Structure 1
Amino acid sequence: MALIARRDLRSDRGWSRILPGPSPSRHPGLLSPRTIETGPAQERERSAPPGRGPRDLRLCGAREGVEPGWDDGRVRRWVLVFLSLGVAMRLLRYALNFPLWNDEGYLALNILERDFAGLCRPLDYGQVCPLLFLWAVKAASLALGFSEWSLRLVPALASIASLFAFRHVAGRLLRGSSLALAVAVLAIGYTPVRYAGEVKPYATDLLAALGLIALAVEWLRRPERAGPLWGLAALGPVAIGISNPSIFVAASVGLVLAVPVLKTRSRHNLAALAVFGLASCATFLGLLAWINGPQGDHVKGWMGLYWANAFPPRSPGALLGWLVAAHTSHMFAYPAGGDHGSSTLTTCLVLAAVVAYLRRGPGRVLALLLAPFALGLAAAAMGRYPYGGSARTMQYVAPSIILMAGLGAAALLARLPRPSWRERSPRWALLAMLIGGLGQMAWDLAYPCKDVFFLESRALARRFWAEESEGAEVACARTDLRLPLDPLRWEADRAVMYLCHQAIYSPRHAAGIRPRLDRVGAKHPLRVVVFNETPTEAAAVPRWLRAAGGRFQLRARREHRLDLEFRRGRRVSGDRYVVYDLVPSEAGPRPAPGPGSPEVGTVATTDVSRGGETADRPIRGAGGDVEDD
């Protein structure tokens, strides 16, 4: 076992009297200008006295502290490759402008229909979202116009920023091949890339967690400086405001740093940590009382059913199986994985990293990485926040998982029997992830949507609003005329997507202009649109015509249909745009035809699913809602 030695490393004279074994001149990788490795138990607890430089908290895969062939230059090149790839994957996802899908549409419609104050109230459509995220996306949509681009701008920027924040944290905690492997996992990870292009707060969950961990690590490196703690005091309330689960990370940081801060006996450190704790607690409790609590109560009934499997069972036997399933499924799906234990490999890598930290330290870094799991599990036991049911709700532990997966992979590869295998195997793993990332980009280019139905639905909406708005005054029966349509049906996913598409692709709605009924004439008709009209709603427009006192008469009634009735063996509804062409009445007041009359009972249908054919066919009601996984 070596002894600690600090001296001028430009000369190796005298080392033979200090270190047993071969001369360092024959093994230049054994010693580094920064440190001399010690025994396993003390290897990373080394620290510089105050004022003499930062502590080195980094671990590598090899227990000896040396990985042949993985010098700093090679590691930097691989890290640069994957940072570039990660940015490219996220920008491509954003640039491809995937169509909105149901879960995005629910949140987007809340942002569309409410002002900043309105977003403080419980959200519609069963949504729960942090207030600062809602305000940030609302500000972007007001500045740039309501569109997929503006709605997804904040998540895209947060995801790209997370790459560089993670690179910084990983550089403080890892070295050698483990650093390159960890950055690669985040760069190509399916979940981080996906949520860079969706109107959901999961990308900001990851960024908030990384920001808090980064500042905590900076203080652990230089405990004589209070700057990182003051940074935590400023960031804590913002992180909690923009990311609901970041409270677990903030609380973990406070608990892990409390004892070492007290040991410093520095008034500046104590004051900064106290401000961080008080500000974070005050922000969390205030939001819980006025924003997050009412949001949660509003959806508590159905959300408890939806996330039932993400809360621990009470039976001890079932609890063990639940814990195994939770930690080998979606939560650990980095860079990929899923249900039924398909993320077991990542779990094994994390366990290998835990063993490495227990053997070589530093213990506080391990506590910092594991504490968010413990607090999240405690919250799940109290029924307050789901644990492990999905990768998206667990983004606050993604930094810990990915950092430890990188270290664990390097540690296991360093145990291979042949030196050539130990040197080359990290390269093979990195090349495999590079190919995987490029393949994911190719897949996105070939299949730019979550489901082809959403792509075709958006194409129909884009074409419909452009064509029907030409030479006519288009009015939505629900949003413009306020006709009494079934309110429950308008909370369903297809109606929500219709309203989002209307706000984006209808020229008049996008411009925020009210319909001009005074412009209606024989050559400029009024076109009233009813989406997915049911038989009970077919009389709504005729009743409105009668209430208008014969001012307008019905000239034609048409349908534009996206007929996708069977998907995955189930009957689902397509999209049906029913258009009533109205012109000023020439014969004076007269009752409008009823829904059973020949004029209304037969329609001209544009069937998008059959190449845009037009034919007369009877009116049909809508089927069931589109099912989404």
Structure 2
Amino acid sequence: MQWAKNDSRSTYRWLGWMLCLGIGWRVLRWSLGMPMWGDEVMLALNFLDRSWDGWLQPLDMGQVAPPLFMLLHGTLMQISGYSEWILRLPALVFGIAALLLFARFAYDVVEQRSALCAVAVLAVAYYSVRHGSEFKPYALDLLLAVGLLFAGHRFRCNPFGRWQISGLVLVIVLAPLCSFPSVFVTAGVITGLLADALVKRERYRLYLTLGMVVLAIIMVVTQYTVIIVPQAQASELLKTLWQGGFPPGNGFGFLGWFVAQSAGRLMAYPLGGRHFGSVLTLLLVCVGAISLYRTRQWFLLWIILMPFAGNVVAAALHWYPYGQSARIAQHLAPSICLLAGVGVVTALSGRPKKWVHRRLVWVLCGLSVIGLGGMAEVMARPYKSRGDLSARDLIQQTLPALDCRTLQVVNTVDTVPVNFRWYLAIDSATRFGVDPFEALEYKDEPVCLLLFDAKRDPDTANRLEHALKKISASQQLIRDEVQTAYIYGGTHHPHQVRSIVVSGG
């Protein structure tokens, strides 16, 4: 594609390409049906053996999720089942909707080249793509953040329009029910609108804005008292995992912590990592913020920077971490990508004019390579860890191929590793905590027993060994093997799985 100065058609051709690339990558990850991994499984297990009112109760395994997320997915599971495609379909829809809405927002608030770069960064941002095809509420965090920014901007442009008022009211009401960290974006948008109304000194604009402020306060208080407080036990467990996202007490330590967190995974757009792995994006964000300041775009600068300030304050109070992971900071992704897009164009504009457009094409080509490379990588490695794949294959392919219609687990359900527990639990023919003596009695079909982590549960292992010694001569041991290298949560926790299949002679 050629870039022509003052030719919006080139801009929109590039925009169409980047949107197709971003959507294609997201759809590809979803369509591969990658095996569920630990964090997804621990949330999904909360839907089993619960009715709709149970979905709104505090969750097990240290999990938290907003109520509308739980109701939507619980209903979907009851209607369509528990396949990976069904569980992740809402995240796919949320992720694609967020990308498209962000494109509209960016083109409304900044000039075309900056908007194009911002959309391109979000389109191929690894973490936003990944969480747009995972069974977690992070894609919903991104969508609500973009929705709040867009609705706030449209309301400011026309505070008396019916659609602008109803749109902002709708997103303010839905945000706390769908996304916990959306409160930071809501605070930025509402305070920005209030300051703008005070500066313009328009009475009816101010009255409408004050009404929005009151509504937002009511919804935030409702979120805290009705949703967050009942889940306090899970929140305390999460705080132990979030320690790195909370600042130290002294001033110098705080500054170093803030810079390190901001240059880490928080700003991994499109790529980045810990230990200053995202410092380039941080620099571009700073350049973009300075550019908006110089062009006096006060309202826009306020609503995209205030979520950072609110998040830092929450981290200082040990309420919500700042910068520890990109997945729990998807509400900041629109601000990061927009500022980075402005920063790229600002940095290129300092070059000789005849080189600006060519270098911008190089940037877009580089972002395209990231997207295409990501698609190739996920096709070559369609799983988060090989252990996740092994767990699913054992339960859904290896044992059924041996004509095992009933899977009998010697362990009690709470001692089974979570990935295995999920794939076993969604199989209605699975039995947990079985007596190996009774299970190994002669039957017309193969008997499959599973024992997990024998070293951690020696009594259960001994009972199984004793039962195996009493197998009658008319039975044949088809399969008795040990499988290891099950990886959970990104940390190596090998679980020994002994699968035993016995069939009648």
For residues 255 and 421 of structure 2, the distance between their equivalents in structure 1, rounded to whole angstroms, comes to 45
- What's the counterpart of residue 105 of structure 1? 41
Q: Judging changes above 3 Å, is the alpha-carbon distance between structure 1 residues 116 and 575 closer, same or farther for their aligned structure 2 residues?
A: farther
Structure 2 partner of 1:419: 353
Q: Which amino acid counterpart does residue 320 of structure 2 have in structure 1? A: Y
Q: How does 1:130-149 map to 2 (within 5 A)?
A: 130-149=66-85
CA–CA distance in structure 1, aligned partners of residues 476 and 281 of structure 2: 61
Match of 1:467 in 2: 401
- 2:168 matched residue in structure 1: 232
1:382 aligns with: 317
1:83, distance to aligned residue in structure 2 (A)? 0.6
Residue 341 of structure 1 corresponds to 276
- Alignment partners' CA distance in 1, 2:446 and 2:358: 72
CA offsets, 1:109-157, max 9 Å, x none? Answer: 1123422211222211111221211222212222210121111111111
Deviation at 1:335?
0.5
2:388–2:487 Cα contact (<8 Å) kept: no
CA distance in 2, matches of 1:250, 1:80: 30
What is the 5 A alignment of 1:61-100? 69-100=5-36
Which residue in 2 is equivalent to 1:369? 304
2:215 matched to 1:292?
A: no
Shift in alpha-carbon separation, 1:446–1:539, aligned structure 2, 3 A? same
Aligned twin of 2:191: 255
Among 365, 376, 382, the residue aligned to 1:448: 382
1:198 Cα deviation from its structure 2 partner: 1.3
- RMSD (Å) for aligned C-alpha atoms: 3.1
1:276 aligns with 2:212: yes
Q: 1:562 aligns with which of 459, 483, 490?
A: 483
Partner of 2:144: 208
Partner SS, residue 386 of structure 1:
coil
Indicate yes or no: 2:453 matched with 1:535: no
Measured at CA, do residues 260 and 573 of structure 1 come closer, stay the same or move farther in structure 2, by a change above 3 Å?
closer
Show CA shifts across 1:79-113 (max 9, x none): 01101111100000101111111111111111234
Equivalence for 1:46: none
| Corresponding position of 2:93 | 157
2:63 aligned counterpart, secondary structure: coil
Q: Distance in 1 between matches of 2:75 and 2:50?
A: 12
- AA partner of residue 81 (structure 1): W
Change (3 A) 1:553 1:110: farther
Deviations 1:182-208 (A, max 9, x none): 111011001111111211111110000
Task: Measure, in 2, the Cα distance between the counterparts of 1:577 and 1:554.
Answer: 22
1:117 has 2:53 as partner: yes
Deviations 1:249-297 (A, max 9, x none): 1111111101333546454x45654443334333332332233223233
Residue type of the partner of 2:120? A
Q: Distance in 2 between matches of 1:476 and 1:360?
A: 66
| Whole-angstrom distance in 1 between the partners of 2:147 and 2:292 | 22
Alpha-carbon distance in structure 2 between the residues aligned to 1:572 and 1:388: 26
SS class of match (2:62) = coil
The structure where helix makes up a greater share of residues is 2
**Among 392, 399, 405, which residue is 2:334 paired with?**
399
Q: Measure, in 1, the Cα distance between the counterparts of 2:48 and 2:191.
A: 40
The alpha-carbon deviation at position 555 of structure 1 amounts to 5.4
Match of 1:497 among 411, 419, 444: 419
SS of equivalent residue, structure 1 residue 538: helix
Q: What do the CA deviations read for 1:392-436 (whole angstroms, capped 9, x no partner)?
A: 1111111011001001100110110x2221121101100111112
Q: Is the 8 A contact 1:70 1:423 kept in 2?
A: no
Amino acid at match of 1:324: V
The answer to whether the aligner puts 1:189 opposite 2:112 as a matched pair is: no
- Structure 2 counterpart SS, 1:75: helix
Asked if the contact 1:311/1:383 (under 8 Å) is kept, the reply is: yes
Task: Supply the distance in 2 between the matched residues of 1:216 and 1:118 (Cα, whole angstroms).
Answer: 35
Cα distance in 2, alignment partners of residues 221 and 329 from structure 1: 35
For residues 339 and 448 of structure 2, the distance between their equivalents in structure 1, rounded to whole angstroms, comes to: 60
Letter paired with 1:197: S
Please tell me whether residue 524 in structure 1 is matched to residue 445 in structure 2: yes
Distance change (3 Å), C-alpha of 1:89 and 1:565: closer
Q: Which amino acid aligns with 1:373?
A: F
Given residue 338 of structure 1, which amino acid in structure 2 is its aligned partner? G
SS at match of 1:561: strand
- Structure 2: unaligned runs, 5 residues or longer: 432-437
Map residues 21-36 of structure 1 onto 2, 5 A cutoff. Answer: none
Other-structure match for 2:105 = 169
* Runs of 4 or more above 6 Å deviation: 541-545
Partner secondary structure for residue 497 of structure 2: strand
Q: CA deviation at 1:369?
A: 0.8
TM-score when scaled to structure 1?
0.71
- Amino acid paired to 2:497: R
Counterpart residue number, 2:435: none
Aligned pair in 2 of structure 1 residues 553, 144: CA closer, same or farther (>3 Å)?
farther
Q: For 1:380 and 1:364, how far apart are their aligned partners in 2? A: 25
Choose which of 241, 253, 256 in structure 2 pairs with 1:318. Answer: 253
CA contact (8 A) 2:480 2:499 kept: yes
Give the Cα–Cα distance (whole angstroms) in 1 for the partners of residues 131 and 75 of structure 2: 20
Match of 2:266 among 322, 331, 336: 331
Corresponding letter in the other structure for 2:291? A
1: CA distance between counterparts of 2:492 and 2:279? Answer: 35
**Deviation of the 1:528 alpha carbon:** 4.6
Higher alpha-carbon deviation: 351-360 or 208-217: 351-360
Rg (Cα) greater in structure = 1
Q: Structure 1 residues 440, 175: CA separation in 2 closer, same or farther (over 3 Å shift)?
A: same
CA distance in 2, matches of 1:96, 1:433: 23
Q: Greater relative contact order: 1 or 2 (C-alpha under 8 angstroms, separation 6 or more)?
A: 2
Q: What is the CA distance between 1:327 and its match in structure 2?
A: 1.3
Number of equivalences = 487
CA contact (8 A) 1:85 1:437 kept: yes
Structure 1's 412 and 68: CA in aligned 2 closer, same or farther, altered over 3 A?
farther
Do the aligned residues in 2 keep the contact of 1:141 with 1:151 (CA within 8 Å)?
yes
1:535-578 per-position Cα deviation (integer Å, ceiling 9, x unaligned): 22135679999xxxxxx9995775443233899xx984245144
